[in-house]
Amino acid sequence: MEKEKCSVLPVRLTIIAQTGLTDSVEPLTQASESPSAAKRRLYLSICILYFSSLAFGNASAYSSPALCDIRQRMGFTAEDSDWFGTLLNIGATFGGLAAGGLINLIGRKRTILLASCLAAGGLINLIGRKRTILLASCAFVGGWGFTIAAVSPSMLFVGRFIVGFAVGLVALALPVFISEICPSSSRGVLCAASTVILTAGILQTFVLGKYLGYIMLALASMLPSIVCGVGVCFIHESPRWLYQKGRKDQAVEALHFYVGPKIEAELCVLKESLDATEGFTLADIPYIYKPFLCTLLAMFLQQYSGICILLYFTHDIFESAGSTLSAADSSRHVPATVLRDLHSFVLHS
């Protein structure tokens, strides 16, 4: 216990020297606030962020049930249908490239928010995780707005591209944000749960798509991003990103929000982890970059296996196959099966 106090004290003195903070950084409610209050705030924040994952799933599955109605109302050709489905990936490519920089620039929270409006690769480092998420939520709303108000195929294409851009932002900013605010003991489960929520969004879209036209389905798909965009305004930025950007007083405030009054140990771990990454390159550590490249290759092959085509055109595939079930009913079995398996994986992890 004495050793732990000695290791925490220098970090605390360093924070005070560099930021001008004093022992008053402890919240005024320290005596009355329990750690469970901070834990409730943490899990509520993560639930808010999960709505962006739900929006991701809605966007991914939208084209499959919606194209039937769009073809009738807009006179889509086969080529138009192909472009409508794949424009999501094109937009997501730009969104992902943008988001990488954004989560470090404006923070994790704002990166998720911006993803609703724009892109994430550079954004999460440039404007932060929170603002990137906020941007993504705005982009989702804007993209679905184009879809709802479309009077021509070109407007549908623009809306689909913007929604794809938001998907790219969320895909990068969301897991980074969650991993940086949740405790290490539950980090794996909470990050994996976002995939379960994403799959639930896919299933939700397939179910609603049987009963709703493409306009009402787009409106339903817009709702999760609105909830996320509003909710993310009331949570704090990632403490790690704030500390990395030299905003140590705000990092302390964010730690109080997510951890509670006793944050010395968290500050110690945060400072040590950031110091360890200074001058770090993957090329210097073969036992890290080799497994990383193998994992990257597996993810690359997954995307080139045709998984997106199956998702975007599930309804058409089952209809062409001549299934005894209707195409809409058959489509629901795909995400339902995946959701069941993912749920089992998370529960046993």
In a domain, 105, yes or no: yes
How far apart CA 55 and CA 222 sit, in angstroms, is 7
Higher-scoring residue by pLDDT: 142, 172 = 142
Higher-scoring residue by pLDDT: 338, 141 = 141
Domain range enclosing 125 = 34-278+313-348
pLDDT at residue 349 is higher than 70 = no
CATH number of the domain residue 209 falls in: 1.20.1250.20
Q: Looking at residue 36, what is its pLDDT?
A: 81
Please spell the DSSP secondary structure of 151-219, one letter per residue: SSHHHHHHHHHHHHHHHHHHHHHHHHHHHHHS-TTTHHHHHHHHHHHHHHHHHHHHHHHTTS-HHHHHH
Q: Looking at residue 13, what is its pLDDT?
A: 46
pLDDT at residue 337 is higher than 90 = no
pLDDT at residue 123 is higher than 70 = no
How far apart CA 237 and CA 153 sit, in angstroms, is 39
Of 32-46, 198-212, 245-259, 318-332, minimum mean pLDDT range: 318-332
Q: How many CB atoms lie within 10 A of CB 184?
A: 8
How far apart CA 164 and CA 110 sit, in angstroms, is 18
Of 119-123, 212-216, 320-324, minimum mean pLDDT range: 119-123
Confidence of residue 11 (pLDDT cuts 50, 70, 90): very low
Instruction: List, in sequence order, the alpha helices (H) in the chain.
Output: 2-19, 35-61, 63-74, 78-105, 111-115, 123-126, 129-149, 153-181, 187-209, 214-231, 239-244, 248-258, 264-277, 286-303, 307-312, 314-321, 327-348
In a domain, 46, yes or no: yes
Q: Which of 37-41, 141-145, 315-319 has the highest mean pLDDT?
A: 141-145
Q: Looking at residue 263, what is its pLDDT?
A: 76
Q: Looking at residue 293, what is its pLDDT?
A: 83
- The separation between the first and the last C-alpha atoms of the chain, rounded to the nearest angstrom, is 31
In a domain, 24, yes or no: no
pLDDT in tens, 174-202: 988 998 888 877 888 888 888 889 988 98
Q: Is 322 left (phi over 0), alpha (psi -120 to 50) or beta?
A: left
Of 55-59, 236-240, 295-299, 329-333, minimum mean pLDDT range: 329-333
- Asked whether the beta carbons of 291 and 41 are under 8 A apart, the reply is no
Q: Looking at residue 20, what is its pLDDT?
A: 47
Q: What is the mean pLDDT of residues 197-218?
A: 90
How far apart CA 184 and CA 93 sit, in angstroms, is 30
Number of domains in the chain: 1
In a domain, 267, yes or no: yes
Confidence of residue 89 (pLDDT cuts 50, 70, 90): confident
In a domain, 60, yes or no: yes
Q: What is the mean pLDDT of residues 327-344?
A: 55
- Asked whether the beta carbons of 195 and 335 are under 8 A apart, the reply is no
In a domain, 16, yes or no: no
In a domain, 298, yes or no: no
pLDDT at residue 121 is higher than 70 = no
Confidence of residue 146 (pLDDT cuts 50, 70, 90): very high
What rounded mean pLDDT belongs to the chain? 77
In a domain, 287, yes or no: no
How far apart CA 8 and CA 263 sit, in angstroms, is 10
Q: Looking at residue 199, what is its pLDDT?
A: 86
Q: Looking at residue 234, what is its pLDDT?
A: 92
Confidence of residue 7 (pLDDT cuts 50, 70, 90): very low
- Return the SS3 of 345: helix
Higher-scoring residue by pLDDT: 21, 227 = 227
Confidence of residue 29 (pLDDT cuts 50, 70, 90): very low
- Asked whether the beta carbons of 99 and 121 are under 8 A apart, the reply is yes
Q: Looking at residue 145, what is its pLDDT?
A: 93
